[in-house]
């Protein structure tokens, strides 16, 4: 009697195949948790690597090349593009300012309190306040001065590393985006909601470099740490929520 051996398993040949394989091995909730853990780990690693490059002086050429590429040749006070682009960048950068982020956070907290979703409201508060405090401490610790290579197109009064606009916009928009995505029944809407949050944070960070008030590595480190902090807060809130839910505490038959 001949025995047919099972076909050998093969490694996924693309990122899409790898995602599909993970989703068949784990449920959707487990897949989301793994993705969030990956963001935390990758964000912390990226932040540490960038800061190490900055402290060793190895990011100087990279920073200068990008900042000069965004200015017209021979005039470091004139950014590339039409005047309308500079105006748009000034408006976009305001989406990462403390007053705007505070207002958005307050509106989100008020909405969640009205819904009596107190745990989610607390998540927003802890994420935003904690992220702001962490950013302030790190700025003072690294004490990196603002760029002096090109003219600043907006006023700034704080230190440079990590970018507060990039980090706190990432924290705010990702935290609120994750909460909105969680209540969406449609998975495509979940992806769209998170994608919009990511796009807003990216645009704010890009505007800071374009306006000459941050080195690119300031913004990159802000994105990395902001994403890690937002997802870490979300994971803790989700874990605590599962512990407190009656279904998780009840014995299974």
pLDDT (tens place) for every residue of the chain, 253 residues total: 445 544 445 555 665 565 555 556 556 567 677 878 888 999 999 999 999 999 998 999 999 999 999 998 888 888 999 999 999 999 999 999 999 999 999 999 999 899 888 888 998 999 999 999 999 999 999 999 999 989 999 988 889 999 999 999 999 999 999 888 887 788 888 889 999 999 999 999 999 999 999 999 999 999 999 999 999 988 887 777 666 655 444 433 3
Cα(226)–Cα(195) distance, rounded to whole angstroms? 15
Residue 161 lies in a domain: yes
- Do 147 and 212 form a contact (C-beta atoms < 8 A)? yes
Is 60 annotated as catalytic?
no
**Structural domain count of the chain:** 1
Measure the CA angle with vertex 141, ends 138 and 145; round to 5°.
90
Residue 10 lies in a domain: no
Of the CA atoms within 13 Å of residue 145, those in its CB half-sphere come to 4
Phi, psi of 79 (to 5 degrees): -75, 160
Cα(156)–Cα(115) distance, rounded to whole angstroms? 38
Residue 6 lies in a domain: no
Residue 24 lies in a domain: no
Active-site position among 3, 60, 152, 165 = 165
Note the pTM of the prediction, 2 decimals: 0.82
CA-based nearest residue to 52, from 171, 217, 167: 217
Domain carrying residue 95: 31-71+79-241
* Confidence at residue 4, expressed as pLDDT on a 0 to 100 scale: 52
Residue 3 lies in a domain: no
Cα(28)–Cα(227) distance, rounded to whole angstroms? 21
Residue 25 lies in a domain: no
- Do 126 and 44 form a contact (C-beta atoms < 8 A)? no
Is 214 annotated as catalytic?
yes
Using CB atoms within 10 Å of the CB of residue 196, give its burial: 0 to 12 exposed, 13 to 18 middle, 19+ buried: middle
CA-based nearest residue to 234, from 124, 100, 144, 82: 124
The torsion angle over the Cα atoms of residues 163, 166, 167 and 170, rounded to 10 degrees, is 180
CA distances from 219 to 19, 204, 214, 230, 239 (A): 29, 9, 7, 16, 30
Number of residues assigned to the chain? 253
* Confidence at residue 51, expressed as pLDDT on a 0 to 100 scale: 94
């Amino acid at each position: 009697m001949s025995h047919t051996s099972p076909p050998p398993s093969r490694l996924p040949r693309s990122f899409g195949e790898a995602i599909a394989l993970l989703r068949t091995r784990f449920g959707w909730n487990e897949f989301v948790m793994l993705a969030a853990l990956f963001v935390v780990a990758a964000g912390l690693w990226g932040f540490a690597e960038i800061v190490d490059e900055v402290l060793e002086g190895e990011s100087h050429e990279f920073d200068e090349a990008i900042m000069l590429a965004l200015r017209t040749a021979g005039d470091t006070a004139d950014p590339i593009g039409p005047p309308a682009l500079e105006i748009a960048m000034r408006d976009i950068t305001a989406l990462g300012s403390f007053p705007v982020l505070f207002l958005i956070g307050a509106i989100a907290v008020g909405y969640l309190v009205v819904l009596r979703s107190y745990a989610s409201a607390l998540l927003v508060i802890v994420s935003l306040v904690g992220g702001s405090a962490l950013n302030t401490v790190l700025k003072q610790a690294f004490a990196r001065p603002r760029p002096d290579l090109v003219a600043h197109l907006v006023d700034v009064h704080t230190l440079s590393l990590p970018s507060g606009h990039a980090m706190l916009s990432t924290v705010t928009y990702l935290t609120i985006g994750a909460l909105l995505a969680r209540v969406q029944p449609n998975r495509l809407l979940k992806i769209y909601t998170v994608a919009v949050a990511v796009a807003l944070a990216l645009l704010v960070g890009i505007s800071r470099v374009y306006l000459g008030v941050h080195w690119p590595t300031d913004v990159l480190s802000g994105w990395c740490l902001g994403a890690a902090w937002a997802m870490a807060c979300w994971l803790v809130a989700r874990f605590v929520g599962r512990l407190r839910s009656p279904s998780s505490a009840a014995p299974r038959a």
